[in-house]
Amino acid sequence: MLPDCVVTVCVGVTVDRKVKQTLMRMRDEIVHENVARFFGISSHADDAAVCLVEQYCANGTLVEFLLDNEHIVDHPFRYVVCADVASGMAYLHRHDLVHGNLSTDKCHVDARWTVKVVDWEYCTRHSSETFSRAV
């Protein structure tokens, strides 16, 4: 049984066999406490939409969570939030993945109040050599 999931529908996106294989490899390889799990991709030959399935985070976006819980957001908690985001991004970078669109909307909070980087499967995969030259 799959855990709670969220489905993102991308209209007008073409996903060829090579991209699907890369996404499936990433599904199996990218597992970290601060990165939302990617479970799979679905598309139908008659439809131009592609559906990406990833882990659901019960407390929504980081902004929603902070607004709903402002009475408990103290400095130590802010530090933990920053550390969670940094840990997730460092993990993606160690796997040669560049998110390229990180924002508070791309950071979600799960039921355990752990911050997870989401929508990373849209990112660009770079070799370490290419990435180091780009920086």
User: Three-class SS string for 4-58?
Assistant: CEEEEEEECCCCCHHHHHHHHHHHHHCCECCECCEEEEEECCCCCEEEEEEECCC
Report pTM.
0.78
Structural domain boundaries enclosing 79: 5-134
Q: Does residue 77 surpass a pLDDT of 70?
A: yes
Q: What is the pLDDT of residue 92?
A: 93
Report how many domains make up the chain. Answer: 1
**What is the rounded distance in angstroms from the CA atom of residue 117 to the CA atom of residue 112?**
15
Sequence-ordered alpha helix ranges (H) in 30-127: 62-68, 75-94
CATH number for the domain including 37?
A: 1.10.510.10
Residue 128's closest CA among 93, 89, 99? 93
Q: What is the pLDDT of residues 88-119, one digit of tens each?
A: 999 999 998 888 889 999 999 999 999 999 98
Residue 126 in contact with residue 99, Cβ under 8 Å?
A: no
Mean pLDDT of 54-82: 92
**What is the rounded distance in angstroms from the CA atom of residue 13 to the CA atom of residue 19?**
11
